[in-house]
Amino acid sequence: MGNWKTNYRVSDLSDTQKLEMICKKCSRLVYINKATICTAKGREQLYLDEIEKRARCKARGCKGQMRMAMVRQDEMSGFTGGLA
């Protein structure tokens, strides 16, 4: 799992896979997926680390760098179960 950002292209993501983008400056958190990444042509050929490098926080006046994390759907369902 270590180098998934350099091993996976956007086109390798499943349609339901979500990624978290967290701003290193203001901690703004946004979720992205294949559809939202591919709003610009040619992006599905990019590796995920290239998407991460290009991403900038959209908060007003911030433009901080974003850190990408994969949202593990099995962990999320386990987490919800633990709360119930």
Give the 3-state secondary structure of 35-79: HHHCCCCCHHHCEHHHHHHHCECCCCCCCCEEEEEECCHHHHHHH
- Nearest distance from C-beta of residue 6 to Zn ion, angstroms: 24
State how beta strands 66-70 and 29-33 pair.
unpaired
x-marked contacts with Zn ion along 22-61 as a string, rule CB under 5 A: -x-xx-x----------------------------x-x--
Q: Which is nearer to Zn ion, 38 or 59 (CB)?
A: 59
Q: Which of 38, 62, 68, 69 binds Zn ion (CB under 5 A)?
A: 62
Name the site residues for Zn ion (rule: CB under 5 A).
23, 25-26, 28, 57, 59, 62, 64
